[in-house]
A and B are shown apart, each in its own frame.
Chain A
Amino acid sequence: MSELKKYLEIGSSPHITSGDSVEVIMRNVVFALIPVCAFAVYTFGAAAALVLVTAIISCIFTEQILCKVTGQPSTIGDWSVGVTGLLYGLTLPPDLPLWMVAIGGVFAVAVGKFLFGGLGSNAFNPALVGRAFLQAAFPQAMTHWAAPLGDSRFFELPSSTLALPFAQPAYDAVTEATPLALMKFDGIQAVDRDLLLGLTSGSAGETCAILILLGGAYLVARNMMNWRIPISIFATVAVITWAFNSYDPASFARPTFMLFSGGLMLGAVFMATDMVASPITNAGCWLYGFLIGGLVVVIRFWGGMTEGVMYAILLANAVSPHIDRLIKPTVFGTGKGAG
């Protein structure tokens, strides 16, 4: 009778799990972003690589130190701070001084994530919190755009990259207005091919629509992203823009330009879909995407800024808990079909 093991473990059923854990999901987001990162380095050269590396290191470092200081076990193993760092880096102008990148990274994790309670509690997308902070603190540097595909981009750094902290960065590299700025101030619309392929200036990771969509499709296929959010954003932007564009093509951009320019692709696919800060029901996600799309169009068409994706997402993040309170699934046996 004693050949059976003496001690058995007990636990509440279910005794099996599906296998996808938080770190697996986060790791896959990183995988989905690898092509976008590679393209950022290809178009903007060594400066973009340094921005990305600095962003990631500053975020991870901040989280590690905060965990130490507050006496909690380290949480960098769940990969979520890595995702934050990577996304944050991708939203920055590629020739941004590295010290600014580092400060924004610290802010993103310390205020955007840790202050709210860490993983799962951040009301706002931490990467965008970091970027919004930089936008407010260094408006000039944050709207200074290096031209893509510069000849010596792999061998020389723009002087701004290594600018000393708190010194006014001196810009020497060839600069170029972003397609959205050209549209807003000069009424020039970039051609779709350049926008799709990412041959324009802009933030490090926002230019190539195709690679961003590819990364999104990968995550959707692995059930790690709710496709309803980006689709809802795209549809809203396209419909509203189409309406205004057909009414007055001279002052309002065409729908494809609106979709593929600026940070819309990166924001809709990788930022708005942050699980923590988006609604939990599918109906809620449609509404959330509708809200973001509407805000983007309003800011771009009538706002003082050229780009509005970041603020649109942050505002929708704030509304997301309220959407969840408003839209709840009808419990089985309580709806019209019951009885």
Chain B
Amino acid sequence: MLDIVRKDSFRNGVHPPEHKGETSHLAIRRFAFAPELLVPLTQHLGAPAIPIVREGQEVVRGQTIAEPDGFVSVAMHSPASGVVKRIALAPSISGAMVPSVYLRPYPASSQEVNDGEHCDVATASPDDIIKAIQRAGIVGLGGAAFPTHVKLKAPEGKHLDTLIINGVECEPYLTTDHRVMLEQTADIFLGVRYLLRATGAREVIIAVEANKQDAARKLQQDCPEDLPISVRVCPVKYPQGAEKLVIKSLLGREIPSGGLPADVHAICVNVATTAEIGRLLPRGRGIQERVITIGGPGIQRKGNYRIPIGTTVRFALQETGAASNISRVFLGGPMMGPAVSNLDIPITKGTSGITAFTTAETGEATGHKKVYPCIHCARCVESCPLFLNPTQLGLLAKNEEYDQMAEEFNLMDCFECGACSYVCPSHIPLVQYFRLAKKMLRKLSAPA
């Protein structure tokens, strides 16, 4: 059943310093309620949820405060018992102002969580489960924030045979999935039952990287005998956590360019998402908090925290004792995490961590590296897990040849893992070029 250290992996990729030992031994702790919480109505990809509370209304923790708008949308739940102060625009990580619910928690409240409509795995139909997952507001907690229930519905004519529970967590500094696997095995296995029932998959593989052997052992020990689960330990390599690559590593199947996991009869769900399904669905609750890693050299009390959705980055940094010389803060890990330009943005369902760097990491000596011309060293070509040609793409981006980038060099396949920029000895901001190019292409192709 256990298949510790398989040689199978994807090709290329990089090995950034992991820094996981700083927080991987720290058990998940509850985070304090901030005096004010900001719950954006767009924490997921898809249509924003429609608020069903009004300003001044009292809400109970776990109560649904916004309903999904259509199929590709999920519900929102109140992260605390308190009063809705207002529904207005609030800053977000992208820089855009997004409609949000401002909530003031009652300091004296017991913060008891409201139960909702139960969903029993033994009796629920696949459609019941899919609806319950949407009702629970569950999205991919690995960072993509794609509504999970949408993934579970296989496209017409496609059958799913393998369910992959993704516990790879390849980003440096992040240890949330690691802790969830150690502390919430029962939730994970219950979540797997729901997912198996919803998708009809026959086989389950839990993917873990070799730097989390204790989690792999724990999962193997606790695994119920009636579940068709195997735990696989992959060699550590970034970006193995990406859906395409974890499927390639485990099954050897290659998702076609522009395709979905369903095209190779697989479905991939993040392990923390699975645990939330198992934790919330039996009692009909919704996501009103999530586990994040707060770490990096700029944080004094590093750790893994179960933090209410809507807590601002500023409050999180103050509570964990951010150093006075922090210079760069980003959500998630250093490879893909977007930099925070405004500390008053809230933590959302898709936030897997907060990492803070100090001037020591970003200062003259290491951070602001001189950009040289491309010397064709081909390190980016050797690092790209999708076999794109970053050096050529970089040159084309510089000349604003966006169409050629997409048509001849598969720009749209790039999922911005950052491996090319990480290895570039000329410090060319390749991923930044690619993001810009994609944005320009979308802009150009959008109807006027």
- Which A residues form the contact surface with B (CB < 8 A)? 1, 3-5, 8-18, 20-22, 24-25, 78, 80, 117-121, 223, 226, 275-278, 280-282, 328-335, 337-339
Contact = CB atoms under 8 A, between A and B. Distances in A.
Contact of A8 (B254, B329, B424, B426): B329
Contact of B381 (A15, A80, A276, A280): A280
Given A10-B328, A21-B425, A15 B357 contact: yes
Contacts of B329: 8
B336 A13 contact: yes
Nearest to B420: A14
Contact of B389 (A20, A118, A280): A280
B115 interface: no
Given A4-B326, A333-B257, A338-B255, A14 B341 contact: no
Interface size class of B (residues with CB under 8 A): 35 or more
Contact of B334 (A1, A13, A22, A280): A13
12 contacts: A15-B328, A21-B370, A121-B373, A278-B376, A280-B391, A328-B389, A331-B257, A331-B386, A332-B386, A334-B410, A338-B255, A338-B257
B325 A5 contact: yes
B422 interface: yes
B318 A4 contact: yes
A17 B244 contact: no
B335 A14 contact: yes
Of the listed residues A22, A120, A338, the one surrounded by the most CB atoms of chain B closer than 10 A to its CB is A22
B91 to A, nearest CB: 13
B257 A120 contact: no
A338 B252 CA distance: 10
B328 A9 contact: yes
Of the listed residues B257, B317, B337, the one surrounded by the most CB atoms of chain A closer than 10 A to its CB is B257
A334 B338 CA distance: 29
B57 interface: no
B153 to A, nearest CB: 20
A8 B336 contact: no
Closest 7 CB pairs of A and B: A120-B373, A14-B418, A12-B432, A333-B257, A332-B386, A329-B387, A280-B378
B256 A339 contact: yes
Contact of B427 (A8, A17, A223): A17
Interface string B247-278: 01000001111110001100000000000000
B259 A339 contact: yes
Contacts of A15: 328, 330, 334-335, 337, 339, 357, 362
Contacts of B405: none
Given A16-B361, A21-B370, A338-B257, 15 more contacts: A3-B324, A4-B317, A9-B327, A12-B421, A18-B16, A18-B425, A119-B372, A120-B376, A226-B378, A280-B391, A329-B389, A332-B248, A333-B258, A333-B386, A339-B264
A6 B394 CA distance: 34
B369 interface: yes
A337 B322 CA distance: 48
Given A8-B328, A16-B172, A25 B373 contact: no
B429 A330 contact: no
A10 B256 contact: no
A119 B373 CA distance: 7
Of the listed residues A11, A117, A333, A337, the one surrounded by the most CB atoms of chain B closer than 10 A to its CB is A333
Of the listed residues A10, A331, A332, A333, the one surrounded by the most CB atoms of chain B closer than 10 A to its CB is A332
B-side binding surface: helix, strand, loop or mixed? loop
A336 B382 CA distance: 20
B387 A332 contact: yes
Interface string B350-370: 000000010001100000011
B218 interface: no
A106 B198 CA distance: 73
Interface in B379-426: 379, 381-382, 385-389, 391, 410, 413, 416, 418, 421-426
B254 A338 contact: yes
A78 B335 CA distance: 26
Contact of A119 (B16, B335, B339, B375): B375
Contacts of B357: 15
Contacts of A223: 379
Contacts of B426: 21-22, 120
Given A21-B425, A334-B257, A8 B326 contact: yes
B254 A339 contact: yes
A287 to B, nearest CB: 14
Contacts of B374: 120
B314 interface: yes
A194 B424 CA distance: 41
Contact of A332 (B16, B244, B325): B244
Contact of A120 (B263, B318, B372, B381): B372
Nearest to B11: A332
Contact of A18 (B391, B422, B431): B422
Contacts of B432: 12
Given A22-B426, A329-B387, A332-B257, A120 B340 contact: no
B377 A333 contact: no
B422 A16 contact: yes
Contacts of B418: 13-14
A148 to B, nearest CB: 35
B373 A4 contact: no
Contacts of B361: 16
B106 to A, nearest CB: 21
B314 A4 contact: yes
A333 to B, nearest CB: 4
Interface in B277-334: 314, 317-318, 322, 324-330, 334
A333 B327 contact: no
B11 to A, nearest CB: 9
B326 A5 contact: yes
